[in-house]
Amino acid sequence: MHWQKPDRVPDMEFGYWDETIAAWHGQGLPDHVRTNEDVERYLGLEGVSTIGRLPIAEWLFPPFEIEVIEKRDKYKIIRDAEGNLCKVSDRITSIPQYLEHGLATRADWERYKAERLDFARADRIGDVKGAVDEAHAAGLPVRIDAGSLYGLLRNWMGVENLSVALLNEREWVEEMVEHLTEGALTMIDTTLADATVDVAWWWEDMCYNMGPLLSPRLFEEIFVPRYRRITAALAAHGVDVNVLDCDGCIYELVPGWIEAGITGMFPIEKIHTDPFRLRDEYGDSVLLVGGVDKFALVRGKEAIDREVDALGPLIDRGGYIPTVDHRVPADVSFENYLYYLKRKRQLL
């Protein structure tokens, strides 16, 4: 991620849906391997779950207690950890159907802020030094979760409600975004005073398959200046790699992220965003993590060969870590996945 020549490129992967792991148990994956972290360790990966992660609670703290309100044959109604009333499937992992969002009014915001968004709470932070020492002893990088400004509000309010508020109650939205920004700055200054961290990881799902969920103008006016304040604080503590997780078609927001000091894009869902286009348009100013088309792994070994071979020039140039472009779905066989890892490792 610094354009140097490594002994090898990190062998990272994003993760797996629960039903993928369950399906693989009948295809050769040992039954005791049950979580994302288990799979990564079993396969010898330096995955997103296993790299060192500072033990901090950077979002709602404490989270809401998950409560089952009603149970039906194929689904249940729950109150989730973010305070939303949801209908969730008992059969597959999927986006819930939101029936009622926890954050709907200014009164709700004041309650969230008072009860769950006090970033000065000492119990938000665990044994940071121990986590760093453990990761370094294992030869793994250390990550701090740098925050989320749009993504969290979208989770708490819903896309439609947040979109309306951005236009009709912008002052309130900016107040909430500012509080989350100040919270991120507090956590950074508190945790990085005595810790060496390699990467700041952001979660900011604010795009869909056709583009951003808000106008680039609002994005650049409200969010970009605040990202810049956070990346400046990270840089003051020696953290200069900022990888941002956003699904969907991200082209229109990439210039603002780069301007704000976000250096890396992830997971680069290839059906929506082409990693070669990002490299061609932004050159060495953008780092890439992800970009391996998950659907190639579904189609079989010849498709996997074409996909991996095509990415070779990106890997050779540097500034790129290939991973499957989201969690691996259950229609990827364990055999195909092992073949993909074998082929990818030949290039790494």
- List the single range of 85-94, 104-113, 150-159 with lowest mean pLDDT: 85-94
**Position 94 pLDDT exceeds 90:** no
pTM for this predicted structure: 0.94
Q: What is the mean pLDDT of residues 77-90?
A: 93
Please give the Cα distance from 63 to 345 (Å, whole number): 39
Q: Residue 307, Cα to own-chain centre: how many angstroms?
A: 23
pLDDT of residue 196: 87
Q: What is the mean pLDDT of residues 26-33?
A: 97
**Position 234 pLDDT exceeds 90:** yes
pLDDT of residue 50: 76
Among residues 28, 39, 11, the alpha carbon closest in space to that of 336 is found at 28
pLDDT of residue 193: 87
pLDDT band at 282 (very low <50, low <70, confident <90, very high): very high
pLDDT of residue 212: 98
Average per-residue pLDDT in the chain? Answer: 95
Query: Over the stretch 98-154, which tens digit does the pLDDT of each residue have?
Result: 999 999 999 999 999 999 999 999 999 999 999 999 998 988 899 999 989 999 999
- List the single range of 90-104, 211-225, 270-284 with lowest mean pLDDT: 90-104
**Position 253 pLDDT exceeds 80:** yes
**Position 62 pLDDT exceeds 80:** yes
pLDDT of residue 73: 84
pLDDT of residue 87: 94
Which segments of the chain belong to CATH 3.20.20.210?
18-63+103-347
pLDDT band at 51 (very low <50, low <70, confident <90, very high): confident
Query: Over the stretch 318-331, which tens digit does the pLDDT of each residue have?
Result: 999 999 999 999 99
CATH of domain 18-63+103-347: 3.20.20.210
